[in-house]
Amino acid sequence: MRVLLQTTIPTTADDWSIERFSMLHHLLADSGHDVTSRNKDESLAAIDRSDFDQIWLFAVDAGDGIDEEECAALTRFRESGRGLLVTRDHQDLGSSICRIGGIGAAHHFHTQNVEPDPSRHARDDQQASNIDWPNYHSGQNGEYQRIHVLGDVHPLLRRADGAPLEWFPAHPHEGSVGAPSGEDHARVIATGTSQTTKREFNLLVAFESDGTSGRGIAEASFHHLCDYNWDTRTGAPSFVADPPSDEVIRDPSRLEDVKTYVRNAARWLSPAQ
């Protein structure tokens, strides 16, 4: 597969640029895929005319990363039968993705497409006073979170022996996703649990192909996939103030679950599947 890992910001050293997803790039490449990683140093308005088989979009912008024309091109990309993974983070981080057809509606933000349950319009993470809801606290950077697989185990969440995955990297303020109303081919396939309130929250929404669009994934936080949450020694942008944990460093074996998810996702998003 030709896989594009794409951020929604220009190359910026002190930010969540694509260079901070290098471990993901190497994992996909080592799994036999042709991987391109890049920042948004040029428009995505013609991305539907590219020859990529799937796009993994990391919405790391403050809310203005991609415009309406670029969202339309990403919509056409998936309508051509190809795969699209879209992930973001807390509050309004990455909210420019809302206008992507189908998958955009799966992402809930603070000021756009808010969660339909008003009781969730409240801060979950209490340690970062400058970050508002949605900000589900699944643990510290550098820790694991135990995930809850919903319903029949989705192919994205199966280990090689068929057992469900158990562990994802944690993050102190994850975003919010849900299956959009009217999207009969979309469902929540995994949830996490807040370490602050013990409240369950959605981690992953899977979109099956409906004959008019390819498969898709909406994910609550890009921190599940970035270098810092796989190994905090790789460093983070200077604005990250949350104290990290060394749990993953001390026991890297449980990272195999998220790596299995990555390999599964690359296969599942393939238009040939």
Q: pLDDT per residue over 159-175, tens digit each?
A: 999 999 999 999 999 99
**Cβ pair 145, 138 in contact under 8 A:** yes
Question: Within a domain: residue 262?
Answer: yes
pLDDT at residue 273 is higher than 60: no
Alpha helices in 31-156 (DSSP H): 68-79
| Rounded Cα distance, 89 and 95, in Å | 9
* pLDDT for res 33: 98
Alpha helices in 1-148 (DSSP H): 22-30, 68-79
Q: pLDDT per residue over 101-131, tens digit each?
A: 999 999 999 999 999 999 999 999 999 999 9
> Helix, strand or coil for residue 18?
helix
* pLDDT for res 271: 82
Question: Within a domain: residue 50?
Answer: yes
Question: Within a domain: residue 273?
Answer: no
Look at the chain and report how many structural domains it folds into. Answer: 1
Quickly state the pLDDT bin for 16 (edges 50, 70, 90). Answer: very high
CATH number at residue 52: 3.40.50.880
- Phi-psi bin for 63: left (phi > 0), alpha (psi -120 to 50), beta? left
Identify the CA nearest to 68 among candidates 98, 108, 28.
98
User: Domain span at residue 79?
Assistant: 2-268
- The pLDDT of 243-271, averaged and rounded, is 97
Supply the DSSP symbol for 110. Answer: S
Question: Within a domain: residue 53?
Answer: yes
In angstroms, what CA-CA distances link 173 with 31, 116, 139, 166, 185?
30, 19, 8, 20, 28
Q: pLDDT per residue over 47-96, tens digit each?
A: 999 999 999 999 999 999 999 999 999 999 999 999 999 999 999 999 99
Q: pLDDT per residue over 184-239, tens digit each?
A: 999 999 999 999 999 999 999 999 998 899 999 999 999 999 999 999 999 999 99
Question: Within a domain: residue 60?
Answer: yes
Question: Within a domain: residue 153?
Answer: yes
Question: Within a domain: residue 16?
Answer: yes
* pLDDT for res 272: 58
- The pLDDT of 126-155, averaged and rounded, is 97
Name the pTM for this structure: 0.98
Question: Within a domain: residue 244?
Answer: yes
Task: Name 68's Cβ contacts closer than 8 Å, sequence gap at least 6.
Answer: 99
**pLDDT cut 70: percent of the chain above it:** 99
The two three-digit tokens of residue 38, written as one number: 């890049």
* pLDDT for res 225: 98
